[in-house]
Amino acid sequence: MSEFHDFFTSKNFIGAYNVFSSGDIKDKNKGIIYVEDASDYSFWEGFIGYHYPNEYMCRPSSKEGKTVTGKRFLEKIYKDANEKIIIAVDSDYDYIASKVQEDHIFNHNKYVIHTHGFSRESVQIEKDSLDHFFKLCRLTIPNTVNLSSFLNDFSEIAFKGLAKYIVILNRIDYSNIYDSEFNSCFHLLDENMVDENLLISKSGIEKIEKKMDLFFDDKCIYEDDIIKSEYFLNDIGINRDNAYRFISGHVLFDLIKKIHKINLSQLMKHEIKNINKNVTGNEIKDRVNQVKTRFNDSFSFDTYCHMRQVDLEDEVHKFILSAIKNIK
């Protein structure tokens, strides 16, 4: 019983493990959620706690007394998940794979919960909520950044990319051999994304298109196969409007974070320009410092994502909640 998958997935030992870990005897009846990383604790406790409040607590996975992180290790104990042992992971492209492969673990163990969208970040980033957050990030000058328009274009091209990518994955039985190359098509961190008029440049979308053309150029993908893939995506709930949540959530997070940072920088410049124009004397320095402090401290994108609550109107959130409800 010394192996992790024997000891830490046994219903007979979980109560004692909880009490030992927390020091609270009341935790003896709780189940455990094993997650990929400690940064996932509040996310999964929020979702699972929506249906089962105070019935589960997150714990790190362990091997030979040491904390082990990552999805690959948890995959080894998927089969041992049970009502007391929930395993919660990022879907990556496994959500898509599970809709094709009948024997995929997502179809056969309801105690393995996943994000449905690509990752935790994909669940946290929803364009309408995000657009509202961006508009609140301001002082005297309205934040008119065209985020919704950009994400609509981004999602459209993500859908086209996913449709082609599925054709490749079907040929190799959903191996992740091309994942990093495909994900890199959406990498735009070297772009100057937002101009002084608070407009997100369309050049980024054009660059993604060119990178995808290059990636798929030698893959011999036929139009009929793409059309079939698009129908398949629609059937499993992925469409042109939400496809941005099913490509790499880590790449998406980094992209939106960069847009947010440049957007705030441009807004701050406009605010300081107005101060220099309308304020005189020593007050200028104080006002400028106030503006800088506000922009630097009050509009954190990381905090927005971390604090986003379970949203019953969010389609990806509904997917997750529906799966969690079936645990018991």
Helix ranges (H only) for 178-248 are 179-184, 203-216, 223-235
Contact at 8 Å (CB) between 325 and 247?
A: no
CA–CA dist 138, 153 (Å, integer): 25
CA–CA dist 85, 91 (Å, integer): 18
Residue 66: per-residue pLDDT: 59
Q: Show the low-confidence residues of the chain (pLDDT under 50).
A: 1-2, 4
Q: Assign 66 to helix, strand or coil.
A: strand
- In the chain, where the domains are located: 4-89, 120-309
Q: What is the dihedral of CA 260, 265, 269, 271, to 10 degrees?
A: 50
Residue 208: per-residue pLDDT: 96
Residue 1: per-residue pLDDT: 38
Residue 2: per-residue pLDDT: 44
Residue 189: per-residue pLDDT: 83
**Kindly report the CA angle at 310 between 309 and 315, in degrees rounded to 5?**
130
CA–CA dist 158, 155 (Å, integer): 5
Bridge-partner residues for 31, per DSSP?
A: 56
Contact at 8 Å (CB) between 61 and 31?
A: no
Residue 151: per-residue pLDDT: 98
